Amino acid sequence: MVALATPTRTPATGTRPPTKMIAASSPIPILKNSKETPTTGIKHKMEDMNLSLSPSSSGSSDGEGLPSPRKRARVQFKDVDMVSYDEREQGNSGTPEKSAAVVREEVRRAIQRHVSGADSEGYDRIKEVFSADPRRRDEDGMFSYDVPTHTTLRYHLLGLLSNVASLDRSCNGLVTAVLNSQWLGRDESYVKLYIRFLGNLAAAQGSYLGSVLKMLVNNLGEIAQGTGKLPGYAPVHAAEIYTRVHMAIRHIVHLIPSGSGSLSPLLSMQFPFDTDSPKANVAYTQNLIRVISYTPELQGDILALITEKLVKIDVQIQVDMDDLDDDEEEEVLHAVSPEAIVFGGDDDDDVSVVSDDESLDTDSRRLRTIKDNVIKLDGMIDTLFGYYAPTFASGSLDDKENTLDLLLSHFQSIILPTYRSRHSQFLLFHFAQSSPDLIDRFTTACIELVFSRTQPAITRQSAAAYLASFVARGAHISGEIVRDVFGLLGGHLKDLRDIYEPACRGPDLRRYGPFYSTAQALLYIFCFRWRDLTTAAMEGDTIEQVDELDIEDISFPPMVKEILHQTIYSKLNPLKVCSPAIVSEFARMSQHLNLMYVFTILETNKRIRMTSFRNLSALADPRFSQVERETRAGDDLGYQLDAYFPFDPYQLPRSRHWVEADYNHWRGIPGDNQEESDSEVDEDIESEDDLSDGTGTDEE
C-alpha cells in the first residue's frame, strides 16, 4: 500500500503549508476552463481567495505565505491553450495532480464502500469525473470549469481497470458514465487504455457485454457533432474515429467467445431509422461491411440485413414515385447526381440534397424525402457492389460459386417475395453475368422455381418475370442460352396446357396464373431477343448480321413457330390476360417479321367478358394480381397481368456504372417505322412499367 502524505501542522505564525502538501489532500483537480493549464488553474483559485502573486517573489513567500508557481510553456492549438503531452502526464512541482497509485487506491476504496453500502460519496465523485463533458460551455461561452484534466481522467480509468472485478451490477451507474464518456476524440494512448478497459470489463462482468457492444455499434452510423473535436486535443477525423470503434469491437469479439453472437442482433437493432439521413445509413452500411473482415462468421447475417434494408428503401421509393407526375419524377432524378453526397467525410452537418428549412411546403418536403431516399439507396447498394466485386473479379471458381449461392439465398428469401423491388436485384443481374457458369446457375435457379409445383403460385409467377427479364436484358446472355430458355418455357407451357385445357371454359387468371405468367415471359423474351431465335442466328450469324438481312430473308425454326402458335391459340387465350403493352408489341413485331398475325385475336378479345370464376381473395398481392381494366364490351372488368419485369433500366446515378456494360437496350426492327411505332408503344408502357427503356425510341 502506498503511504499517504501526513498533513503538516500549521505553524503558530499563521503561515500556510507549501502548495505541494496541500495538493496531497485536495479533492480531484479541475481546470477553470479548457484554455487553462493546471498551473493557471491554481492561479485563478488563489485569486479567488484574494491571494496576490508577485513576479518578483520567486522562491520566497508572498504576503499570505504561498510561493509563486513557476510558469510553464504552452502549446498553441487553434484557440485553445494546450499543455504538452509530457506535462499532462507527469506534471511539475506545484501541480494538483495526484499520483496514479493514490488515485487507484481512492477508486478501490470508493467502489468498496459503495458496494458494501457504507457510503457513495467517493463513488459519486468518480462518476462525475467521467460524466463531465469537455465540450460544455458556461454562460459566457467559456469551456466549463468542472472538467477533469487529461491526467486525472487517465488515472481514474487506470484505477477502474485495476478494480474491474469489483464492478458488479451495483456499479451500473458508474459503468454507464464511463461508457457514455467522450473517448473517441482523445489521444491514442487514452483510447488504447479505454479499449483495454472495455475488454476486461466485458470479460470479467458478462452482464455488461451487451451494453459495451451497444455503445460501440451506436458509433458506426453518423458521427455526433463535435465527437472528434475535443478541447485540448488534436482533431480526430471521421475515418480515424471509425477505426477506433472497429478496434474496440474486434478486441472484444476476439477476447470473448460469445462476443460475435451478442454482436449480431445489436447490428440489426442499431441500424439507422428510415427517417435518418443518407449519411447515417450509408456510413452504417460501410461499417457493417468492415465488421465482416474480422467476424467472418457473421457475413451471412450482415449481408442479409443490408439487403433487407435495401429492399425496404427501394420499395418505398417506388411507392412515392408513383405519386409524382412526370415533371416531378424528372426533377428528382436530375437533382440526384453521383456527386450529390460524399459519404464518410468530416462535415458534421447532415447532408441532404435540399434544405431542411421547416418553412418548406408539403410538396417540397415530400420531394426532399424522395431525393434523400434515392441518395441513401444509391450509396448503400454501391457499397454492396464494391464488397462483392473483388470475389467475382479475381476469386477462385469455388469462391465465386459460394458467393453467388449467398446472393441467391438472399434473392429467394428477401428480394423475390417483395413486390416493387426496383434496384436491389441488380446485384444478381451484374454478378450472375460474370461467367457462363454463373449465368447458368442463376437461370437454372429461376427455372426450378417456375416449374416447381410445391412453390406458391405467386413465387412461380415472380420467378418467371425475373427469368424473362434477365434473359431479355442481360448483355452477356448468349444466343444459345436464349434459345435454351425459350425451349424450356415452351415445354413447360405444353405441360400446363395438358393440365388446364380439359377443364378450361375461358381465360381465368386466378385458376391458370402459372400458365399466363410463363406465356408473358415467353412473349417478353421474344420481343427483346427475336434475333437470337432466327434460323440465321442458329446457323451462326451474329445479331448484327441478322439486322442486315431483308425481312423476306428472316425466318424462324419450326420449334419457335410451334411454341408460339400452340401457346397463343390455346383455349386459355393468353393474349387476353397478358399485359396489353407486351401483347401489342408482340403483335406488331410478329406481323412485321411475317411470323404470325394475331390482330384478329385481339379484336375478338375485346368482346370477351371475363365474369366467371372471380375471387377477390386472389387480389392480395398486387404484383401479379388481376389489374382491373374496362373492356370495350361494356362495364365488365377484365383481369390482366401487370407488366412487371424487374430488370428495367437502372436509374441510380452513383452506382449505375456497375451495370452499364451488362445491359441490353431495346432494339427496334430494321426497316420498321421505328419512330412512330415506338412512340405509340411508349405511351402504353409508361402506364404499365417499361418494356423498352422508357426513352420512347431508344434507337442505336
Q: What is the DSSP string of 564-581?
A: HHHHHTSTT-HHHHS-HH
If DSSP states are collapsed to H, E and C, what string results for 356-421?
Answer: CCCCCCHHHHHHHHHHHHHHHHHHHHHHHHHHHHHHHHHCCHHHHHHHHHHHHHHHHHHHCCCCCC
Asked whether 242 and 264 are in contact (CB, 8 A), the reply is no
Residue 317: CB atoms within 10 Å? 23
The CA distances from residue 177 to 172, 229, 493, 676, in Å, are: 9, 20, 68, 72
- pLDDT at position 44 is 43
- pLDDT at position 359 is 55
CA distance 303 to 418: 17
Where does residue 344 fall: left (phi above 0), alpha (psi -120 to 50 degrees), or beta otherwise? left
Instruction: Tell me the pTM.
Output: 0.78
Residue 84: DSSP 8-state? -
CA distance 297 to 132: 38
The CA distances from residue 20 to 83, 98, 190, 558, in Å, are: 20, 10, 27, 105
The CA distances from residue 596 to 71, 490, 516, in Å, are: 100, 17, 20
The CA distances from residue 16 to 9, 61, 64, in Å, are: 9, 10, 7
Domain boundaries, the chain: 272-455
- pLDDT at position 165 is 94
Asked whether 149 and 95 are in contact (CB, 8 A), the reply is no
Q: Could you tell me whether strands 80-82 and 75-77 are parallel, antiparallel, or unpaired per DSSP bridges?
A: antiparallel
pLDDT along the chain (700 residues), means of 10: 42 42 38 40 41 36 38 40 40 60 94 92 93 71 67 94 94 96 94 97 95 97 90 92 97 94 96 92 97 96 97 92 78 65 46 48 84 93 97 94 96 91 95 96 96 92 95 96 97 96 91 95 96 94 92 94 96 94 94 93 84 37 42 47 87 92 87 50 42 38
- Indicate the residue type of 282: V
CA distance 7 to 102: 15
Nearest CA to 442 out of 394, 387, 393, 392 is that of 392
CA distance 248 to 213: 9
Phi, psi of 103 (to 5 degrees): -65, -40
Which cell numbers hold the place of 241? Answer: 474515429
The CA distances from residue 617 to 453, 613, 626, in Å, are: 20, 12, 11
Distance of CA 387 to the CA centre of its chain: 12
Instruction: Tell how many helices (H) and how many strands (E) occur in the chain.
Output: 28, 6
CA distance 293 to 303: 12
Asked whether 521 and 464 are in contact (CB, 8 A), the reply is yes
- pLDDT at position 244 is 97
User: 637: which strand partners?
Assistant: 630
